[in-house]
Structure 1
Amino acid sequence: MTTPAIQWYPGHIAKAEKALKEQLKLVDVVLEVRDARIPLATQHPQVSEWVGSKAKVLVLNRMDMIPSQVRQLWENWFESQGETPYFTDAQHGKGIQAVTQAAQAAGVEMNKRRRDRGMLPRPVRAVVIGFPNVGKSALINRLLNKKVVESARRPGVTKQLRWVRISKEIELLDAPGVIPGKLNDQEAAIKLAICEDIGEASYDNQRVAAELVELLNYLGDVHGNFLPNSPLQNRYGLDAKECTGEDYLVNLAKERNQGDVERTARQLLNDFRKGLMGAIPLEFPPY
């Protein structure tokens, strides 16, 4: 299937990236939010360069969408890389307390250095960054315990940078989602599209839905003990084994939507995104 490569870089993201780099100079702690279903695909290649020597808290959101055993695998892997991941379900307010404590702990260090230099302590300045739609605004609303930031299940809702006060100890900067200037890794780009972590204008639904079918087949073969059993068959009563993703879509469209493949592709992607096929991780640690 030769549809164009997945690519998305609207003007407001380019502007946001420039503004974000400026604001990062004022920040003490960076909360980097990724999607727990695809922690590697939602890693922005420039984050470590931007963060430099500042404290960073790694947040893996949507933990409810992966099985707890897979969460454990990621926890072990990140710790082996020298990082502590904080798992959250921002939608339902789970895991938020630990993130706040981690940001505050980084602030204690910062204020200790200020005191050593004869300066007064001040609130920790934190920024929340990550790809569009990984749940940054939902996380901020949970950290604040009230809805101050618009959040929606679509990328690109946050358009400008703004500071919000969490407590006497922490001030938070909500930044628009940033994605790399070029999505060079098309395998990662497909996963971002499947999980709706990039804008819909950048991809073809039928291609992405067909890729999801093939990915589920592959993961079922390789990591079957960590996935729901035959998620497509259970959801649609149609087995996906022994056929390509495209063929599966065509067959499913005939059965369900009078042969309307586009409608079927959208339905399949939507069902996955809402968790209606079960808790399904699309990535595993690269051991």
Structure 2
Amino acid sequence: MAARERVFGAIGKSVKAVAKSRGSEWWYTPHMAAAARAIEERIPLVDLILEVRDARIPLSSEYLQLRKIPSACRIIVLNKADLADRSQTKFLTFLQARVRELKKKDDRAHVITLMLVGIPNVGKSALANSLHQVGRISAAEKGRLKHSVVTPQPGETKSISSLKIASHPNIFVLDTPSVLPPDVIDDEVCSKLAVTGAIKDSVAGEINLAEYFLSILNLGEEYKKWAKLSSSEAGVALTGDGSLSLGKKQKKKYPTDHTQDFIVNNVRRTLFDSVSSFGGCTEDGEDLARLIQGEFEVLQKVFHLPLETKECNYSRVAIKLLNLYRTGRLGHYTLDHVPCN
């Protein structure tokens, strides 16, 4: 069995064990069950349902509770890729066109209600806030903006909130709590939900998740885009013993801040060098595991971590690496196999 299959199998089993544990704080909690019931009760009362999915896992992030809903009432939104800042206005225009269609069917309607639904951490609240802000600006309305809570942690929205996004007719969007399916039986789906942040990292463990991401990177083509990076461009040089050597201008920066461009570039360069110079076969499970082990070793130096226990530093490397992956600093990845049709 390949290393990647071994890793996602372990992650999937960890997630499923939590899902099956009664009263778990990470999976289908009583609060999530109550939210699912509240959403289901409102479905007949809304005009459109916007199902938000993660563009990295467009199939695995499906909101399963909507499978019985007619497709004519539902719009699937691929977030975290398709909706950059400027896209929000275009998306609002698209929604308004759909609303005009609804208006033609019922010209007595003065209020149109949309409802955002989705699994944890797909960006529902961020989308609701953006639509709310753009809609109010376009309508030249004044007043204090309401905001849905947005954090990188899954499950922060606790109740259904209403935000106005347009006037004439009035259009409101309902931001709803995230809901996972009560049962997930597919190990690979569980792994994808975990590595993209839909489930708390503590369920599977940051190191396991980082290993899974590195196996995706090592077996893919994305790292080849970093071939032209040089140490001088990155602003950081690796000395003969692998320690960091900063230029004069970089000494004022903070080498422990992994989000800085020169650190990110050095991470890219280091990963490119590690994969391209690897003498083993990445398709072989043991070889791939050995490559990932070496990447963890060198990334400790790239992230400029203090000399501590290997387990502690590996955990820090994993947290920083996952953050860079989830914010798009290490390339873009579609983890689901999406059919062409």
User: Normalization by structure 1: what TM-score?
Assistant: 0.77
Which residue, out of 200, 224, 243, partners 1:229? 224
- Code of the aligned partner of 1:264: V
The residue identity in structure 2 corresponding to 1:157 is: E
Stretches of structure 2 lacking an aligned partner (at least 5 in a row) = 1-5, 20-26, 134-144, 227-266
| Residue in structure 2 matching 1:109, options 82, 98, 101 | 101
The answer to whether residue 274 in structure 2 is matched with residue 238 in structure 1 is: yes
- For 1:250, the equivalent position in structure 2 comes to 293
Task: List per-residue Cα deviations over 1:111-166 (Å, max 9, x = no partner).
Answer: 33324xxxx22221100111111111111111011551111111111110122221
Name the count of aligned residue pairs. 250
CA displacement, residues 58-100 of structure 1 (integer Å, 9 cap, x when unaligned):
211121xxxxxxxxxxxxxxxxxxxxxxx312xxx23112322
Distance (whole Å) between structure 1 residues aligned to residue 215 and residue 146 of structure 2: 39
User: How far apart in 1 are the matches of 2:34 and 2:288?
Assistant: 37
Look up the match of 2:316.
Answer: 263
- Distance in 2 of aligned mates of 1:209 and 1:172: 36
Query: What residue is the counterpart of 2:127 in the other structure?
Result: 139
Who is 2:206 aligned against? Answer: 205
Amino acid at match of 1:271: L
Shift in Å, 1:230: 6.9
Aligned pair 1:163/2:144, yes or no? no
2:125 corresponds to 1:152: no
Amino acid at match of 1:160: S
Which moved further from structure 2: 263-272 or 237-246? 237-246
Contact 1:165/1:171 (8 A) holds in 2:
yes
Q: 2:30 matched to which residue of 1?
A: 11
2:45 maps to 26
Counterpart in the other structure of 1:175 = 176
Alignment deviations for residues 13-62 of structure 1 (CA, whole Å, 9 cap, x no partner): 1111111101112111011111112211111223232x336522221112
Report the AA paired with residue 198 of structure 1: I
* 2:331 counterpart (255, 264, 278): 278
CA contact (8 A) 2:63 2:117 kept: no
Q: Residue in 1 aligned with 2:73?
A: 55
Q: What is the TM-score when the length of structure 2 is the normalising length?
A: 0.65
Cα distance, 1:195 vs structure 2: 1.2
Change (3 A) 1:250 1:53: closer
Q: 1:143 to 1:235 in 2, by over 3 A?
A: farther
Counterparts of 2:213 and 2:316, CA distance in 1: 15
What amino acid is aligned across from residue 88 of structure 1 in structure 2?
L
Q: Contact 2:223–2:268 (CA<8 Å) still a contact in 1?
A: no
Q: Which residue of 1 aligns with 2:215?
A: 214
Tell me how far apart the structure 2 counterparts of residues 95 and 230 of structure 1 sit (CA, whole Å).
Answer: 26
Q: Which amino acid aligns with 2:172?
A: E
Task: Pick closer, same or farther for the CA change 1:21–1:177 going to 2, 3 Å.
Answer: same
SS, match of residue 252 in structure 1? helix
What 5-or-longer segments of structure 1 have no aligned partner? 64-86
Over aligned residue pairs, what C-alpha RMSD do you find?
A: 2.5
Which shifted more, 143-152 or 251-260? 251-260
Q: Residue in 1 aligned with 2:65?
A: 46
**Matches of 2:287 and 2:198 in 1, distance apart?**
25
Cα separation, 2, equivalents of 1:235 and 1:275: 17
CA contact (8 A) 2:121 2:197 kept: yes
Once residues 41 and 271 of structure 1 are traced to their aligned partners in structure 2, the CA distance between those partners, rounded to angstroms, is 21
Of residues 35, 46, 66, the one that matches 2:54 is: 35
> Which secondary structure does the structure 1 equivalent of 2:74 belong to?
strand
CA contact (8 A) 2:157 2:177 kept: yes
* Identity fraction in percent: 29
